[in-house]
Amino acid sequence: MSQTQQQIEASRRRYEELRAAGQELAPKGLPEPTALDGAPLVPDRVIHREHVPPGWYAIMRLRRGEALRIVDESGRSSVSVVGWREEDTSERINCADTIKVQWSAAISKGRVILSDMGRVMLSLTEDTSGAHDLLVGGSTAASTLAATGAPGRNTQENFLAAAAKIGLDLRDIPPCVTFFAPVSIDDAGRFRWQAGRKQPGDFVDLRAEMNLIVVASNCPHPLDPARPAAAGSVTLIRHHAAPAPPDDPCRTASPEAGRALAFTDRLFG
């Protein structure tokens, strides 16, 4: 075996060791899902509340230390989200790094969503379902036509419209995270939709770890088997997040997430 091959094999072994350690530790560090009637918001901490009808989108600016609660009122919606750092929009949500750093394509309470600079943009501090998608992406004109039988509004076009309003364009739109999208992967590597994991009133709280511009699109997920596609209004609630405790699960669930949050803190040190 050549020296180059030895180095490759050594690197592969080290990767497998780290992956095994990450996958072993993380599930033990993740909290239980939030109860549907849990984590009530204190009214005087709410900054803004907005209802987003099916097919539409909203743009929201979040300051570090604030949070966005997304509520699926009907249990039929999926909400695709992209975001950028407000001071430098070349830094944006990165689904691939979110998966790699945490050794998992599943996100739920206690996980973080990273930027393409290795910093944490959002922490999932509350989450009733754990049924979210980092892999498939939002709806397109073609998937909407297939779902409804007629042309209609879709996430791809919503993101383009939102980006234009904040001075961005197609090249600035990253792959999205879709909440309330129960996508799993079977043993053959095929995507599966687990409708039983959705319920009316599901919500997720996303704590901003930096100043952000966020776009949320309320359109049916491409894999949702409902025909015609079913959707309902969702509610977005911007609020002041509770201070993170010393044992904040988002910081302690994995060493990688802790390092990413520490790296993010340096922006504000």
**What is the Cβ-side half-sphere exposure of residue 69, based on CA atoms within 13 angstroms?**
27
Left if phi > 0, otherwise alpha if psi is -120 to 50, otherwise beta: which for 21? alpha
CA-nearest of 86, 49, 54 to 68 is 49
Which residue shows structure tokens 């990273």?
Answer: 114
| pLDDT tens sequence across 71-106 | 999 999 999 999 999 999 999 999 999 999 998 899
What pLDDT score does 122 carry? 98
Mean pLDDT of 232-238: 97
What span, in angstroms and rounded, lies between the C-alpha atoms of 214 and 197? 25
* Angle between helix 255-265 and 95-102 (nearest 10): 130
Residues 6+ apart with CB under 8 A from 14: none
User: Where exactly are the structural domains of the chain?
Assistant: 1-30, 46-268
Q: Which two tokens stand for residue 80?
A: 């695709």
Residues 78 and 202 sit within 8 Å (Cβ to Cβ):
no
The predicted model scores a pTM of 0.90
CB atoms < 10 A from the CB of 116, how many? 15
| pLDDT tens sequence across 126-138 | 999 999 999 999 9
Sign (positive or negative) of CA dihedral 152, 175, 25, 260: negative
204 phi/psi in degrees, rounded to 5: -135, 140
| pLDDT tens sequence across 165-192 | 999 999 999 999 999 999 988 888 899 9
